[in-house]
Structure 1
Amino acid sequence: MWGAVVGFFRSQRWWILRLVALPFQLLTFAVVVFFLVRLIPGDPVLTVTGNQATDEVYARVQEQMGLSGTIWDQLVAYVSSLARLDLGVSLLTQRALADEFSARLPATLELAALGLVVAVVLVLIASYFTVFRPVRVLAPMVKAYSRAAGAIPDFAVGVLAIFLFYATLQWAPAPLGRLDPFISSPPQVTGFPLLDVVLSGDAEATGSMLAHLALPIAVLVIAHSAVLLRILVAQLDAELVRPATLFRVSTGASPGAVVASVYRRALPPVVTMVGTTFGYLVGGAVIVESLFSFGGMGQYLTEALAGADLTAMQGFLVVIAAVSLVVFLLVDIINMLLDPRRRPGTTEVS
């Protein structure tokens, strides 16, 4: 029995070890966030209460912010609360942060995930018609766009898109939420707005939400897909002249098999970058939500920053870190499925 368990662990350790390390990585980040928040200059309690606050009010807010007692008492209380999945209470709304985030964060993650899916699909299509079936006009444009990686900020693209497609051409609906004003929101089932409206079976609401999402998703894709496209095109160009590709061609493999083989070997660096891009997209989604009045975490964080709600900001950083670590875990697993030589215990990595 024990030998079977050891054998299973040895064969599957390439993903088990990543899974076991996840809570320790999150704990490390949470401790870093804890000390970073306390390095903010000034007295955060007075920022919230004002200089005229009574000792009783000051002590209550100080306890709510987790700033009472010694620094080590605060750290122990903070880690203990996280172990119970207790992120604290928002100073602005006096609601548990877990409730605040469960009501707002899914919408932000859904927008970021939609942007990522659309970006990946378009990058795969554009790379194919740039490397394998180059179109005379398209290929130079795609390569020029890929060189603009990181030079196009979300905010600038969003403002330009609203001005052009809403204010000037009036092709897009007003940037005033996810639904037209006369359409009621569907009942919340999953917390993800688009998924909930699809599950509701309301065709009118679904069409309205898709119309309102089209421009924000386009903004995220334009701002963040260039780097993915640049890496993928470069990897495909390199893999085309590798001995493995030339050998497949010489053996008479079908064009589809050759293309699939080249993509499989070119994708690992791109998959790694997709994980990083998702983090950028979450930040971009927060900005885009504010521009298009989507509510979500964009509006909440704007209010938290204005009100110096350090508890909310600290909780948000920890939750986003947890989401990012899960994404990076999936990235590692996908990469090791694409190329088993990347798994622990192998000595050669292509």
Structure 2
Amino acid sequence: MLLVLREGTPTPEEYARVRTALGLDGSLFEQFSQFLGQLASFEFGTSLISGRSVGQELLLRMPTTLQLTLIAMLCTVLFATIASYIVAVKRSSIAGKVLRAYARTAGAVPDFVLGVISIFLFFLVLGWAPAPIGLVSATQNLPPSFTGFALLDAILAGDLVIIGSILAHLALPVLVLTLGYAPLIMKILIISIESAVDAPATRFRVSTGSSRLMVMVSIFRRSAPPAVVVCGMLFASLLGGSMILDELFSLNGVGQFAIGAIDTNDFPVMQGFLVLTAGIALVVYLVVDLTNMILDPRRRPGASQEGTA
């Protein structure tokens, strides 16, 4: 139901109509029970501005934001892992010193600032990046939606031109998120790797003639749990950063939808957006806990706290 109020102070009838539409006309217990029932069926009501279902709008737009977040997360973890290894193992090298200094800049520059700088440098000045006007150029169309994730849909459709266009349009926001958030993982991972390199477990493996690969696997396994926790926290930050860049690069994801709701005081949209993002964060934290229990047996329920090799 689309609610349209006239300008000025609403009449009592209009006020009552809006309260009823938002489910605010009952007691607190009734409102909470109604909210839980709607939440169970992924029903967040209808937008006060567009009149469309909030749940359907979020399901339509969230894959675009998650697509950017997941790709950026993968690139951030890979870059941070390689860079942390160089810093920890080749401390005196020029690359190690530069990367260590870079790790100390964690959180120094906001992602939206990096986004504006990247657009100015790579699009306006150098002309390397495509125009920040969406996932594809203005003359192209997105592939038919099967999964909601445009890149995966293009891969399933086998359209190499659209795949290349989507990757080109995602390259700049992914680069911004990677450079902005990789130092947060590096700061923790460098400390963990340096500690694991000098640990008795590492010396034992070296003394018993274990291969270099096995030694490195042991080092990273013992170094990973603290970094995994940071990655879980980082995912929420990357999701927020993706929403900001979504608006900046006109990707038509959930970020633009949420910002539009804030501008128009569209309460059902804001409520649905917050509940959905909170639910995604809870799922990510659960995955982090399960991953840490797999990587470190000492973190499993009922396990002893003795060291492991």
Name the TM-score class by shorter chain.
over 0.9
Which residue in the other structure is 1:28 paired with? none
For residues 83 and 324 of structure 1, the distance between their equivalents in structure 2, rounded to whole angstroms, comes to: 17
Deviation of the 1:76 alpha carbon: 1.9
315-324 or 259-268: bigger deviation: 315-324
Q: Does the 8 Å contact 1:228/1:273 carry over to 2?
A: yes
Counterpart selection for 1:255 from 212, 215, 233: 212
Residue of structure 2 in register with 1:306 after alignment? 263
Q: Aligned-pair distance for 1:247?
A: 1.2
Pairwise CA distance, 1:133: 4.4
Matching residue of 1:87? 44
- State TM-score, norm by structure 2: 0.94
Task: Map 1:246-285 onto structure 2 (within 5 A).
Answer: 246-285=203-242
Evaluate the alpha carbon distance shift between residue 107 and residue 48 of structure 1 in structure 2; reply closer, same or farther with a 3 A threshold: farther
Q: CA shift at 1:52, angstroms?
A: 3.6
- Equivalents in 2 of 1:70, 1:232: separation in Å? 50
Matches within 5 A, 1:200-211: 200-211=157-168
Distance 1:279 1:349, change over 3 A: farther
Q: Which residue of 2 aligns with 1:60?
A: 17
Q: Match of 1:144, as an amino acid?
A: A
Structure 2 Cα separation of the partners of residues 174 and 186 of structure 1: 19
Question: How many angstroms apart in 1 are the aligned matches of 2:158 and 2:91?
Answer: 42
| Offset of residue 349 of structure 1 | 6.4
Residues 245 and 267 of structure 1, relative CA distance in 2, 3 Å threshold: same
Alignment correspondent of 1:196: 153
| Equivalent in the alignment of 1:153 | 110
Q: Which amino acid aligns with 2:60?
A: A
Maintained 8 Å contact 2:118/2:176: yes
How far does the alpha carbon of each residue in 1:298-345 deviate from its partner, in whole angstroms, 9 at most, with x for none? 211111001111111111111111111111111111110111110111
- Code of the residue aligned with 2:98 in structure 1: it is M
**C-alpha distance in 1, partners of 2:214/2:6?**
66
The amino acid of 1:216's aligned partner reads P
Equivalent position of 1:16 in the other structure? none
Aligned length: 305
The structural deviation recorded for 1:127 is 1.8
Q: Is the 8 A contact 2:88 2:190 kept in 1?
A: yes
TM-score (structure 1 length as normaliser): 0.83
CA separation of 1:68 and 1:271: change in aligned 2, threshold 3 A: same
Q: Which amino acid aligns with 1:229?
A: M
Q: CA deviation at 1:246?
A: 1.2
Alignment of 1:79-118 (within 5 A): 79-118=36-75
Q: CA deviation at 1:250?
A: 1.4
CA distance in 2, matches of 1:98, 1:294: 19
State the Cα deviation string for residues 28-66 of structure 1 (Å, max 9, x = none): xxxxxxxxxxxxxxxxxx997654434333223222323
1:165 corresponds to which residue? 122
Q: Does 1:340 align with 2:297?
A: yes
Kept in 1, the 8 Å contact 2:77–2:182? The answer is: yes
Q: Distance in 1 between matches of 2:186 and 2:161?
A: 35
Unaligned runs of 5+ in 1: 1-45
Q: Which residue of 2 aligns with 1:40?
A: none
Deviations 1:166-202 (A, max 9, x none): 1111111111111011111111110011111221211
CA distance in 1, matches of 2:29, 2:76: 45
Q: 1:256 to 1:314 in 2, by over 3 A?
A: same
The 1:342–1:269 alpha-carbon spacing in structure 2 relative to 1, beyond 3 Å, is same
Which ranges of 4 or more aligned residues in structure 1 deviate by more than 6 Å?
A: 46-49
- Equivalent in the alignment of 2:184: 227
Contact in 2 for aligned 1:49/1:57 (Cα 8 Å): no
Listed as ranges, the gaps of 5+ residues in structure 2 are none
RMSD: 1.8
